[in-house]
Amino acid sequence: MDTKELLKKVRKIEIKTRRLSDHIFGGEYHSTFKGRGMTFSEVRQYQFGDDVRNIDWNVTARYNEPYVKVFEEERELTMMLMVDFSGSKLFGTIEQFKIEIVTEIAATLAFSATQNNDKIGLILFSDEVELFIPPKKGRSHVLRIIRELIEFEPKSKLTNVAEALKFLSNVMKKRAIVFIMSDFITENYQHTLKIASGRHDVTGIRVYDKHEESIPNLGMVQMIDEETGESVLVNTTSKKVRLNYAKYYREKVDYFKDSFKKSGAGVIDCRVDESYVKKLLGYFKRRG
């Protein structure tokens, strides 16, 4: 993709997602994700009704009259966007690839965080961490994140959510708001998710296409696994084949929901032909 085309795509996504974050998500984001606590702001003279536990004894002794510490909510937060960049990101049968929906969701979340003057970081992962952009503030930083989501080419097509979560725990020592975006057609990440959720506010956003859920009866079909590159001839007339695939897919979805629930993390299911705006807004309102 040449620079002109890339900039055009970035601008198109910015216009759409900024409008959403400005008019819909800004306030919802602010009320949903609270600050890390109360931080010291200033001291002032004691007034009737003030909590005596907030008296600043050093200042009181200096001025020979009571002063209290004033605290305010610490609003500045850090948002980490974790995006699965494995081979299945390019699956899409209706209007858009999964990665295109993910890019719009990520941009909407990032601009909502920017409105709150929060930092935003990005982790792109396959079965390894492909790219890490440390958290920073500002529009230009968000535009860089969007550019990477559009044009980045991963080295691997496999998926390892656990590896990405381990990396998150190593680089993010302070509490962060974390959104993990993937189709979650994988397992073996429940333990690392529980550790990450104990430290951070984690939400898993499962982005999927309805045609991934089952195999239709189409006769003998040549299928390619996007992650392994393996080509297999599949007899889709076989009811057993179709049932086994549906069972395999359901097990992965159940593992995703069960793992996030047990870890105390949030869950959003987003099909590519559905409105991610309604899904995000509904999630924010439920949490707020």
pLDDT in tens, 137-195: 999 999 999 999 999 999 998 999 999 999 999 999 888 999 999 999 999 999 999 99
Window from 63-72, 93-102, 104-113, 257-266 with minimum mean pLDDT = 93-102
Collapsing DSSP to helix, strand or coil, 144 comes out as helix
Domains and CATH numbers, the chain: 3-32+77-287 (3.40.50.410), 37-74 (no CATH)
How crowded is the C-beta side of 219, counted as CA atoms within 13 Å?
0
Q: Give the Cα separation of 262 and 171 in Å (integer).
A: 24
> pLDDT band at 229, cuts 50/70/90?
low
Q: Which tokens hold the place of 100? A: 């295109």
Q: Is the separation of the CB atoms in 67 and 46 below 8 Å?
A: yes
What number is the average pLDDT over the span 32-40?
A: 59
* % of the chain exceeding 70 in pLDDT: 87
Whether residue 52 is predicted with pLDDT greater than 90 in this model: the reply is no
Q: Is the separation of the CB atoms in 82 and 107 below 8 Å?
A: no
Angle between helices 98-115 and 3-20 (to 10 degrees): 60
Q: Is the separation of the CB atoms in 29 and 284 below 8 Å?
A: yes
Query: Count of H helices and E strands in the chain?
Result: 9, 10
Collapsing DSSP to helix, strand or coil, 280 comes out as helix
Cβ burial of 105 (10 Å; 0-12, 13-18, 19+) is buried
| Model confidence pLDDT, tens digit, residues 104-141 | 999 999 998 888 888 999 999 999 999 999 999 999 99
